[in-house]
């Protein structure tokens, strides 16, 4: 079996009548239907086209819709423990990114399968989620305010106007507008994109920045910075966010080439030849160390070069590959796919969740379904398949 077939095999293993599980192994809370994991696996299923996997994605979306909070929140995960059903909307903080992932998944499912009626049947769920994200702006100025631990990087330090979440919301609105054209939604997406372009990197655009004092002291970088809040900017390189920025082609000034050059130099400087989740690593003695060390519910997983603290995730790199393809950098995208597959192959196709960027040793949960999905999505997009963007 080749790498692609191994990845597809894992998705079949984690497919249930309620949707995709986060891992084939019964470790911690990974044998649950997770919003972001399930949608990412679902996008892989749609691009592959296998009927059983597409059905598992439809079930995932139905599970998430069935357990949406009346205010609009999509659960972080759903656990069927008969006769009970256990829901989580987050740990130390609620999750913001589950709603846009749900909308992205629902719209791509309807678009690729042609089952528009399924999306129409869930318009109330979609609209409720979109409305809640608008409420999370708080100041009605187009960017959501995200609590620390409020997204996939749930033990990292970013907080406030986190770029990753703004981009996911933009993607979700674009998908929805593509499926159900709406002038109000289109205008909102354009305003969010404008706010992103104006606030997450230094430039010469004449604008009215969210945080004039912080923006004035922001130095030019060859990437979009991770976040800002009332205290100022968090200037780390967030690989997932920058991958989404490339994929969504949010910039019109040719900044993509600078970003790709920086990203390629970074990944080629590291032994795994893939991007770390965040860079640089936070180390003991750094100002942010105490915040990082205490942002956990149980054990500490963010040692330098591990987990979110500059660890390497195959899934994140899969999305970086999508960004490369969107910018006609096919050779680099193929290199990324090769290195993702090499990591997934470790320890007899362990499909580990992530790797230590310095030692190259596997960390996190094995048989992780979105590690397989990252490979599948990128492989299919390299071959010409497309997602709504």
Q: CATH number of the domain at 371, please.
A: 1.50.10.10
pTM: 0.97
- How far is the CA of 257 from the CAs of 222, 254, 323, 330, 353, in angstroms? 9, 6, 11, 14, 29
Is the omega angle on the peptide bond into residue 260 within 30 degrees of 0, that is, cis? no
Percent of the chain exceeding pLDDT 90 equals 91
Domain that holds residue 102: 3-382
Asked if the structure places residue 389 within a domain, the reply is: no
Asked if the structure places residue 387 within a domain, the reply is: no
| pLDDT at residue 199 is higher than 90 | yes
Helix or strand holding residue 20 (H, E): strand 19-20
Asked if the structure places residue 329 within a domain, the reply is: yes
| CA–CA distance, 196 with 81 (Å, rounded to integer) | 42
What is the CA 208 to chain-centroid distance, rounded? 28
pLDDT in tens, 125-140: 999 999 999 999 999 9
| CA–CA distance, 319 with 323 (Å, rounded to integer) | 6
The predicted model gives 85-111 an average pLDDT of: 95
Walk across the sheet containing 278-279 and list its strands.
225-229, 232-238, 278-279
- Give the number of other CB atoms < 10 A from CB of residue 241: 29
Q: Which residues contact 242 (CB under 8 A, 6 or more apart)?
A: 223, 224, 259, 263, 320, 323
pLDDT in tens, 216-273: 999 999 999 999 999 999 999 999 999 999 999 998 678 999 999 999 999 999 999 9
pLDDT in tens, 313-338: 999 999 999 999 999 999 999 999 99
| pLDDT at residue 82 is higher than 90 | no
DSSP state letter for 111: H
Asked if the structure places residue 22 within a domain, the reply is: yes
| pLDDT at residue 113 is higher than 90 | yes
- The number of distinct structural domains making up the chain is 1
Percent of the chain exceeding pLDDT 70 equals 99
Mean of the per-residue pLDDT values of the chain: 96
Asked if the structure places residue 388 within a domain, the reply is: no
The predicted model gives 20-46 an average pLDDT of: 93
Give the lowest-confidence range in 11-25, 111-125, 202-216, 295-309: 202-216
Asked if the structure places residue 242 within a domain, the reply is: yes
Q: How does residue 30 score in pLDDT terms, banded at 50, 70 and 90?
A: confident
Length of the chain in terms of residues written:
389
pLDDT in tens, 272-317: 999 999 999 999 999 999 999 999 988 999 999 999 999 999 999 9
Q: Which residues contact 132 (CB under 8 A, 6 or more apart)?
A: 71, 72, 73, 99
| pLDDT at residue 339 is higher than 80 | yes
pLDDT recorded at residue 206: 64
pLDDT recorded at residue 375: 98
| CA–CA distance, 136 with 165 (Å, rounded to integer) | 11
> Which tokens is 200 given?
């997450």
Asked if the structure places residue 68 within a domain, the reply is: yes
- Burial of 289 from C-beta contacts in 10 A (0-12 / 13-18 / 19+): middle
């Amino acid at each position: 079996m080749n790498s692609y077939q191994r990845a597809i095999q894992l998705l079949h293993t984690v497919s249930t009548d309620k949707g995709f599980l986060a891992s084939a192994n019964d470790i911690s809370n990974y044998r649950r239907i997770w919003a972001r994991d399930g949608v990412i696996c679902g996008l892989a299923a749609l691009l592959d086209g296998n009927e059983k996997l597409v059905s598992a994605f439809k079930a995932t979306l139905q599970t998430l819709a069935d357990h949406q909070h009346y205010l609009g929140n999509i659960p972080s995960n759903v656990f069927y423990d008969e006769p009970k059903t256990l829901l989580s909307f987050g740990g130390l903080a609620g999750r913001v990114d589950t709603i846009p992932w749900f909308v992205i998944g629902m719209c791509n499912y309807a678009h690729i399968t042609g089952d528009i009626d399924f999306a129409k049947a869930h318009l109330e769920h979609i609209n409720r989620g979109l409305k809640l994200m608008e409420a999370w702006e708080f100041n009605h100025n187009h960017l959501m305010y995200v609590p620390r631990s409020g997204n996939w990087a749930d033990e990292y330090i970013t907080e406030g106007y986190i770029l990753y979440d703004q981009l996911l919301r933009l993607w979700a609105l674009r998908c929805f507008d593509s499926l159900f054209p709406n002038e109000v939604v289109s205008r909102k997406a354009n305003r969010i994109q404008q706010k992103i372009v104006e606030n997450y990197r230094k430039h010469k655009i004449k604008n009215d920045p969210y945080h004039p004092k912080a923006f004035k002291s922001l130095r030019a970088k060859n990437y979009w910075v991770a976040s800002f809040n009332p205290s100022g900017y968090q200037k780390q390189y967030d690989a997932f966010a920058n991958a989404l920025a490339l994929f969504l082609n949010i910039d019109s000034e040719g900044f993509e080439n600078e970003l790709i050059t920086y990203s390629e130099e970074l990944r080629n400087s590291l032994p795994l030849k893939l991007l770390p989740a965040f860079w640089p690593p936070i180390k003991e003695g750094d100002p942010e160390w105490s915040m990082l060390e205490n942002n956990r519910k149980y054990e500490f997983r963010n040692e330098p070069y591990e987990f979110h603290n500059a660890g390497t995730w195959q899934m994140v790199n899969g999305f970086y590959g999508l960004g490369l393809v969107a910018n006609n950098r096919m050779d680099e995208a193929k290199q990324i796919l090769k290195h993702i597959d090499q990591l997934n192959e470790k320890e007899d196709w362990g499909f580990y969740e992530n790797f230590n960027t310095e030692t190259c040793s596997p960390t996190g949960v094995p048989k992780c379904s979105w590690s397989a999905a990252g490979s599948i999505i990128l492989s299919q997009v390299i071959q010409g398949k497309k997602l709504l963007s």
